[in-house]
Structure 1
Amino acid sequence: MHWFTDVITKQYAQFSGRARRKEFWMFILFSFVISVILGILDSILGLDFETSNKLKAGGVLQYIFALAVLVPTIAISVRRFHDRDKGGWWVLIYLIPCVGWIWFIVWAALEGTVGDNRFGPDPKAAERGGPGGFAGPGGSEPGYPTV
């Protein structure tokens, strides 16, 4: 749960730096689960909206939650692209009809750049064996990225 609360409390509108895949996907997962729970509550409490063809279109609690996490969702997405050494504007690729969201998901799922990049230090450097992010098979030989 700390993946979600840290982004909401400590990095609410932090667009600089890098975000690991785990941080990004855990935030997305918790947001999705909370949204589903709020959708169920909206239905139980009669707070959901119906469209002209009787489809459910979310509810009051879901919309309030969506507005509350809009800025941190954009911020963590920008930091995730920074980890791939891409500018934050690449987040807008999501707006391309039909294929944009697929491209966005693929890029968000790919490994970040190993070592420092123009957006900051490698957030996985300690796990990879030091500041450069490289360690040999035994952990001491330079030149081999650890997995």
Structure 2
Amino acid sequence: MYMEKEVKKTHHTNPFEIGFAGAEDAYHQNPPCKGFNPRTYYEPWRDDSLTERFFSPRGRLGRLSFFIRSLVGWIVLLIWGSIMTNRLLDSFTNGMTGMIFHTVRTFSTVSYCEITLLFAIFIGFCAMQGMFVIRRLHDRDKSGRYCILLYLPYIGILFWLYLLFAKGTKGDNQYGPDPLTHLQ
């Protein structure tokens, strides 16, 4: 007796799951240009999770996105840094007067956990800014190795301003498609 193969039908609720032309993924639906590695192909419309937005070096980042994401990072760091600095200064002041006036409070009011948390958030901020710079360099069709310039005194500020005002390469490059093409 003749038996037909059972066809597995899937229902996709998100149009990006099947691509615009019905292909299973965007790589096969829209093949990249020469020089792309299919394992690292970047899809700008899938940049929706927090880790992809703030902690991934893949892909390209336009000038406005670079500025906004850097500004958000700086605001978070300034708020967190001012809270922790206030806490540390309060501890130093009360700790010193505590020694003079023989009160119970000393420097130990700030726990090592708070200091470790402050340091960890600062390291996370530096990593996040580094990822922004790498993605911005990718938009300029440059290697991410130049991001070390960001951490040099005085040169880092000039380098950040250069990245903020320099236009990215038009069209696709070896790091992914133009971040402005999906907005048009």
Structure-2-length-normalised TM-score: 0.51
Q: Find out whether 1:38 has 2:94 as its counterpart.
A: no
CA deviation map 1:31-67 (0-9, x unaligned): 11111211221243336898xxxxxxxx945433212
- Give the direction of change, closer, same or farther, for the CA distance of 1:97–1:33 in structure 2 (3 Å limit): closer
1:114 has 2:156 as partner: no
Residue 7 of structure 1: CA displacement? Answer: 7.0
RMSD after superposition: 2.9
Alignment map for 1:57-68 (pairs within 5 Å): 60=115, 62-68=118-124
Counterpart contact for 1:8–1:72, Cα < 8 Å? no
Corresponding residue for residue 135 of structure 2:
79
**Match for 1:16 among 58, 61, 66?**
58
Quick check: 1:13–1:71 contact (8 Å CA) kept in 2? yes
Question: By percentage of residues, which structure has more helix?
Answer: 2
1:89 equivalent in structure 2: 145
| Unmatched segments (≥5 aa) in structure 2 | 1-47, 93-113
Q: Please give the TM-score of this superposition, normalised by the length of structure 1.
A: 0.62
Which segment is superposed worse, 71-80 or 41-50?
A: 41-50
Larger Rg: 2
CA separation in 2, counterparts of 1:68 and 1:126?
29
Contact 1:85/1:118 (8 A) holds in 2 = yes
| 1:103 shift after superposition | 2.9
User: Contact (CA 8 Å) 2:63, 2:163: kept in 1 or not?
Assistant: no
Separation (CA, whole Å) in 2 of partners of 1:39 and 1:106: 26
**In percent, how many aligned pairs have the same letter?**
27
**Contact 1:12–1:71 under 8 Å retained in 2:** no
Contact kept? 1:7, 1:76, Cα under 8 Å: no
Alpha-carbon distance between aligned partners in 2 of 1:42 and 1:102, rounded to the nearest angstrom: 28
